[in-house]
Chains A and B, each alone.
Chain A
Amino acid sequence: MGLVINRADVGDDHVRDYARAEGLPILMEIPYDRQIAESYSRGEMFALAFPEWKARFREMIEKIETMTVKGAGAQ
């Protein structure tokens, strides 16, 4: 299991503290960004709409793959 924190820059540290206490990895943090909201309103996928986010999503996929492989090995 892992977490993605949305509007991460507006909030306080509650979610991060919770993740640490529960041992949950934070896979990505998405800031509060009007441009992302506008892109979403047009029905776009923001991972594709913003090149810098495409790379971050790729990184996240890799993290998830690593986690999944580890998880499968533990069974």
Chain B
Amino acid sequence: MKELVALVRQQAKQLAEERGLDLILTDGPPGVGCPVIASVGGATSVVIVADPTVSGIHDMARAIELCRHFKVPVMVCINKSDLNPDNSATIERMAREGGLPVVGRVPFDQAFTRAMVQGKTLLEYDGTGPAGVHLRQVWESILNTSAMRVEK
């Protein structure tokens, strides 16, 4: 699995160089296992998508440690942010204490699952609904972080 991630990233890099593209998005797996480590190494920046759940907070703490180890700048996006306001506040506090920008607070929305069922991305499924508008804002926030501006 770790090797697979490395292979995909290597081929993505080759393709980007051939086509003169300056940004590669790597969608890392959930959790904190070996494939996550393989997707973080050498990245310009990492967006941790954290759910406000007991396990989500635990995984986020581990992922932050991992990124610190690799010296990769981290930003945080809270997914299903309205599901558990107390846990969302904990994530906000952890981000603040770690000096990590919070680039989004995406509410719980069935549109994500409906899009997945149809085999579409959320923006293909419904780019103008509340979830789509939120996601565009998240992307703008990501591009505006200092980590992403440096390399341009």
B137 at the interface (CB under 8 A from A): no
Complex partner residue of A10 from B51, B108, B117, CB under 8 angstroms: B117
Q: A42-B53, A42-B84 given. 13 additional CB < 8 A pairs?
A: A10-B110, A10-B113, A10-B117, A11-B117, A32-B110, A34-B83, A38-B84, A40-B53, A41-B51, A41-B54, A41-B80, A41-B84, A41-B87
**Interface 1/0s, chain B 108-135, versus A by CB < 8 A?**
1010011001000000000000000000
A54 within 8 A of B: no
Closest to B87 in A: A41
Residue contact A10 to B54, C-beta cutoff 8 Å: no
Contact, CB under 8 Å: A37 / B83: yes
Contact A7/B113 with A41-B51, A41-B54, A42-B54 known, Cβ cut-off 8 Å: yes
Bound-state Cα–Cα, A57 to B137, Å: 41
- Interface positions of A from 29 to 69, Cβ below 8 Å from B: 32, 34, 37-38, 40-43
Could you tell me if A43 and B113 are in contact, using CB atoms closer than 8 angstroms?
no
Cβ of B14 within 8 Å of any chain A Cβ, yes or no, is no
Which residues does B use to contact A, with CB under 8 Å? 51-56, 80, 83-84, 87, 108, 110, 113-114, 117
**What is the count of residue pairs linking A and B with beta-carbon distances less than 8 angstroms?**
34
Count A interface residues, CB 8 Å: 12
Which 5 pairs of residues, A with B, have the shortest CB-CB distance?
Answer: A43-B54, A41-B84, A41-B53, A10-B113, A11-B117
CA distance A43 to B80 in the complex (A): 15
Chain A residues positioned under 8 Å from B117 (CB to CB) = 10-12
